[in-house]
Structure 1
Amino acid sequence: MVTRGFWSVHVLSVGLAATLGFGLAGCGGSGGPAGAGGDGSPRTGGNLRLGLGVDPVCLDPQQSGIADAINIERSIVDSLTAQDPKTNAIVPWLATSWQVSPDAAGFTFHLRSGVTFSDGSALTATTVRDNFDAVVRAGGRAPLAASYLAGYRGTDVIDPLTARVRFGQPNAQFLQATSTVSLGLLSSATLARPLADRCVSGIIGSGPFVLDSYVPRQSVTVHRRAGYRWGPATARHTGDAYLDKITYSIIPDGGVRAGALRSGQVGGVTALPVQDTSQVRQAGLTVARKIIPGVVACLSVNPFVSRPAIDDSSVRRAVVKAVNRAEVVGTVLSDDYKVATSILSASTPGYADLGASLAYDPAGARKLLDAAGWTAGPDGIRRRGGQRLTLAVAWTTNGGPDQEVLELIQQQLRQVGIELTLRQFVTGQAFPAMQRGIGDYAWGAGAFRTDPDILRAKIVLPGPVVPPAPGSPADRLNAALARQAATVDDAQRRKVVDEAQRLAVDAGITVPVYEIPAVVGLAKDVRGFAFTASANLFLYDTWLGNG
């Protein structure tokens, strides 16, 4: 076993891993199996109906980043490695073993033989090369996947089952990235399709389920693949999946979604609303929960704008102090949520406790604004040089409690003289609006990943349009985020990640609010459900007690 980059790397065969019992952790805040009805032998068959809070928009794992899209894709697409949700260890999946060069700029993967995609084509080292090359070519169309391949120089096909991935500099986060859905492997037939055609159909993976159909804003259906024999080392069984079929229904309204679960119309729901969790529990149904590793729910500076108010560091730092996180969690949310004490959730490797810097301090916020020349107007909103202190936040409807949270933050900021306006967009429209200059902040309801490099991919920084001034906090944050990805030494990387978190908070570039749980409601007959390490759905081991 080698230790590299906040996780333990197990280099062993899939068969040995299964023998040693690399299983999913227990439920209720961890990654493991959940379900009602006690123990029993898994049964094959049945159609699991799941209600999703958000339309996936695009089912191509290279292009998508929406949680519910990833939840679907994980059942269709396999990855080179898996990550144990209890230990964060990187364990075998499509790769049975691997070697990492001392400088973490070269990664050699030995592929499992006999793996095929659902169209019958074989997994080879050439397939690995073509997938990674395709991500790089996609560029901005695959922002998350492309960030994992920063500095990519190519993949060498050593032999049909050995691929060596090369980078121009150390890439400490890459091994963990190979466990993500974003770098899941697609068939050559899928890669040959234009990117625009891969969102709704044509996604062919090697996973335990096969995509049947996707009707945007309505439903997605998948069916069990016969002959599947290469599940991840984290799985609790081998062979075919238990479920015959999974039907994902798009139910944006949280109350309707929870009602569908209680009435038995669906067997499970994602993003179970805060106000419905107690009723679901009282009905004897299962509530599975896991705090999402990665970036917490936060406000982050829009990189496409430069305006006097948001450019003023005193204003940004005042916002950090004026947000009462405990009130947000205690009033709008529930005990399933946690007050953020950094931009990373506490379960994320490399997390630094910045609770003192995030303490609620409205007096301190007023003091900063007074010193910066922002004085209260007749309606309590501050002004400077005739300009009203108004900030706008762009946010996307995702079926969660975001509107209620933002409305409370709006009230909290008004108490110190800051006006916050809310600009709501449907899924997929917020980022283009930000590029057009709408919003001083973006509201982000988290970003899933069990590696601190998620900061580099998800923190919104000045840069694309408004380059940060040399030596400014944003410039130093950019540098720190790039440096941590290239730092091989584990202890040194932790120091750089710590520095990045402090810069993001102290300069007000991000305003962490709360840690987000993945909360899933399940019917009594749904068993063997589990979360992945990144809090996505893992349905390979799931079965229905009623057959």
Structure 2
Amino acid sequence: MNLIPRARRARTSIAAALALGALLLSGCSAAEDSAQATEPQEGGELVIGLQGFNHLDPQQGGNNDDVAIQRQLVASLTVSDPENPGTVLPWVAESWEISEDSSEFTFTLREDAEFHDGTPIDAQAVKANFDALLELGAQAAAASQLLEGATTTVDSEHVVTVAFPGPNLQFLEATSTTTLGLISEESTKLPIEDRRNGEYVGSGPFELESYTPEQEAVLVKVPEYNLNTEVDSNQGPAYLDRITFTQIEEISVRSGSLTSGEVQAATFLTTPELDSFEQTPGFHVIERTNPGTVFSLTPKLDKDTPLQELAVREAFQKAIDREEVSKITYGDEAIPATSLLAETTPLYTDLSGALEHDPEGAKEILEEAGWEVGADGIRERDGERLSFEVIFWQASDPLIAVQEQLAEVGIELQVVQVSVSEATAREDQSDLQYGNVSRNEPDRLRQDLAAFLPVWAEAGLDPEQNPDLPEIAEALDAQVGQQDPEERQQTLADVQTTIIEDGYRFPLYTLISRIAVSDEVHDLQLDGTSRLTFLNTWVES
């Protein structure tokens, strides 16, 4: 895959044409000049501005900025192949065997693999990690879902088997995730809060030097790191001596910090700011479309709101203009949601026919359900306003667009943007959850909804207003064991269609990871799941 950023590619093409002309006139060696210009340099520090991070424990999950830090601290059994979504390659595991029914996975580990303290990454260490994750339960919800029902057995010093009660097609890809990143056996015994503060022994190309929660994390290279993979252009330790992740919550301040040189890269900027950096000499933008679930709103049906009513959810779904929402978010490069999964996810199916913008249809549904337009344009019934609140920390533009679209049909959406930490603290107050999760495996949808379906099942919902919930749960569980790809894709398409038609999730747009970077930074890359990776990164002195 060509990892040269789009903006830099354009400039490189022009520069190449000029260089060729100069070469023909002067007889210089283009190869020598190119080598001098692109030779990676050892040392230096990269400072990157993030919107907000909560903690450093990969096994407890986190937002995109959390993972940007965590991924550098831990290696996984496998690594996602950026050129072939859904395919994994060796990392700590040098090979593996899968039983015919995909219920047992046996990994042979590299004999030279070590944690940062020099202790071996052996079969016992892998078992300790996976057993500890299952014991954490809800405190490591994402990891527990990946390992649900697993029994890990040490076959020999460097061979470990993970067995499930039945077929589990998602597990091999799961071993490439940061969530199943490996920490030392002793670290698995640490209190949760210590792990969240990064007080564990990791296995990645960097280790933690210092951490101030919600302010700064400083990582330094591991000189002995040797767990390079075939996707790495750098086959030794990291080039960078240090990475400083600094939390800058205000978008305009992050952008200004990059312009002024206080940071050399910045995440989660607005499309106009990113476009400006692309057009400004001295900067470029790297980007990659994220696999996994698209950015969506999920109603919390366990809360006593009108979202428990089928007609309201149907109208909500029809009122959204996904083309407009995505263009406001990403401009001409926008990818509107066409299913609950991103187009880059294996076994994706285009379901855009179920997601058509139909505001008149939305109004008709609400009228028939008895929701009448009030004096302020918001519908009411029996003294209750058709009003909901969403609390979030991400950029506000997409939700403001949704807010305006819903208002056109008489639904009020109050959008409350807060800091990352406050959004986490106030999560229970929000009537809808907003977000996405990136992963090269369609089972990510089952994992997402695992946080909702059991709660809804216990909420005593009216089955006429909330149909198909048992069937949805059953289909999501079934697909992970279906070994025929066509059968599995059809099951996924059918269950997504039901979820969309019943209004259990409102997909909006596909996430495109875009990071603005100073030109002094080379080979800052996004991996197979669009996570930042720094092993190959270097800075000009």
State the partner residue of 1:375: 372
Superposed displacement of residue 539, structure 1: 0.7
Superposed displacement of residue 341, structure 1: 1.0
Amino acid at match of 1:312: E
- Structure 1: distance between partners of 2:294 and 2:494: 17
Amino acid at match of 2:101: D
State the partner residue of 2:245: 248
State the partner residue of 1:16: none
The residue correspondences of 1:204-353 to structure 2 (distance < 5 A) are 204-284=201-281, 285-307=283-305, 309-331=306-328, 333-353=330-350
Superposed displacement of residue 439, structure 1: 3.0
1:104 is matched with which residue: 84, 102, 105? 102
The residue correspondences of 1:480-519 to structure 2 (distance < 5 A) are 480-519=475-514
Amino acid at match of 2:401: L
RMSD over equivalenced CA pairs, Å: 2.3
- Structure 2: distance between partners of 1:280 and 1:217: 26
State the partner residue of 2:20: none
Is residue 441 from structure 1 mapped to residue 441 from structure 2 by the alignment? no
Are the equivalent residues in 1 in contact too, given 2:249–2:419 (CA < 8 A)?
A: no
- Structure 1: distance between partners of 2:147 and 2:434: 26
- Structure 2: distance between partners of 1:303 and 1:188: 40
Is residue 26 from structure 1 mapped to residue 3 from structure 2 by the alignment? yes
Give per-residue Cα distances to partners, 1:346-401, cap 9 Å, x unaligned: 111121211122111101101111222222223322222332222222x3213xx2
Amino acid at match of 2:492: V
* TM-score where L is the length of structure 2: 0.90
Amino acid at match of 1:302: K
SS of residue matched to 1:265: coil
Are the equivalent residues in 2 in contact too, given 1:108–1:162 (CA < 8 A)?
A: yes
Range 201-210 or range 370-379, more displaced: 370-379
- Structure 2: distance between partners of 1:347 and 1:172: 18
Is residue 451 from structure 1 mapped to residue 451 from structure 2 by the alignment? no
State the partner residue of 2:117: 119
State the partner residue of 1:188: 185
SS of residue matched to 1:243: coil
- Inter-CA distance 255–431: structure 2 relative to 1 (3 Å threshold): closer
- Inter-CA distance 302–92: structure 2 relative to 1 (3 Å threshold): same
- Inter-CA distance 75–431: structure 2 relative to 1 (3 Å threshold): closer
The residue correspondences of 1:59-208 to structure 2 (distance < 5 A) are 59-88=56-85, 89-152=87-150, 154-208=151-205
Is residue 416 from structure 1 mapped to residue 409 from structure 2 by the alignment? yes
Kindly name which structure, 1 or 2, has the bigger radius of gyration based on alpha carbons.
2
- Structure 1: distance between partners of 2:479 and 2:287: 30
Superposed displacement of residue 418, structure 1: 1.1
Amino acid at match of 2:124: T
SS of residue matched to 1:335: helix
Are the equivalent residues in 1 in contact too, given 2:301–2:307 (CA < 8 A)?
A: no
Give per-residue Cα distances to partners, 1:240-261, cap 9 Å, x unaligned: 1111111111111111111111
SS of residue matched to 1:217: coil
Are the equivalent residues in 1 in contact too, given 2:78–2:175 (CA < 8 A)?
A: yes
SS of residue matched to 1:294: coil
- Structure 1: distance between partners of 2:39 and 2:423: 46
Are the equivalent residues in 2 in contact too, given 1:302–1:442 (CA < 8 A)?
A: yes
State the partner residue of 2:389: 392
Q: Give the number of the structure whose residues are more often helix, by fraction.
A: 2
The residue correspondences of 1:46-65 to structure 2 (distance < 5 A) are 46-54=44-52, 56-65=53-62
- Structure 1: distance between partners of 2:478 and 2:423: 29
Give per-residue Cα distances to partners, 1:183-224, cap 9 Å, x unaligned: 011012311211121111313211111111111121111111
Range 313-322 or range 261-270, more displaced: 261-270
Superposed displacement of residue 160, structure 1: 0.3
State the partner residue of 1:18: none
Range 407-416 or range 129-138, more displaced: 407-416
State the partner residue of 2:31: none
SS of residue matched to 1:57: coil
Are the equivalent residues in 2 in contact too, given 1:300–1:441 (CA < 8 A)?
A: yes
Amino acid at match of 2:524: F
State the partner residue of 2:27: none
- Structure 2: distance between partners of 1:477 and 1:371: 27
Amino acid at match of 1:288: I
State the partner residue of 1:44: 42
- Structure 2: distance between partners of 1:501 and 1:203: 39
Unaligned runs of 5+ in 1: 1-23
2:532 is matched with which residue: 533, 537, 544? 537
Are the equivalent residues in 1 in contact too, given 2:467–2:502 (CA < 8 A)?
A: no
Amino acid at match of 1:458: D
1:528 is matched with which residue: 523, 527, 540? 523
- Inter-CA distance 468–203: structure 2 relative to 1 (3 Å threshold): farther
Is residue 407 from structure 1 mapped to residue 400 from structure 2 by the alignment? yes
- Structure 2: distance between partners of 1:26 and 1:132: 33
Are the equivalent residues in 2 in contact too, given 1:79–1:179 (CA < 8 A)?
A: yes
- Structure 2: distance between partners of 1:513 and 1:35: 35
- Inter-CA distance 183–468: structure 2 relative to 1 (3 Å threshold): farther
SS of residue matched to 1:115: coil
Unaligned runs of 5+ in 2: 16-33
State the partner residue of 2:24: none
Are the equivalent residues in 2 in contact too, given 1:81–1:232 (CA < 8 A)?
A: no
Give per-residue Cα distances to partners, 1:413-441, cap 9 Å, x unaligned: 11111122234453255466454xx3331
- Structure 2: distance between partners of 1:306 and 1:198: 36
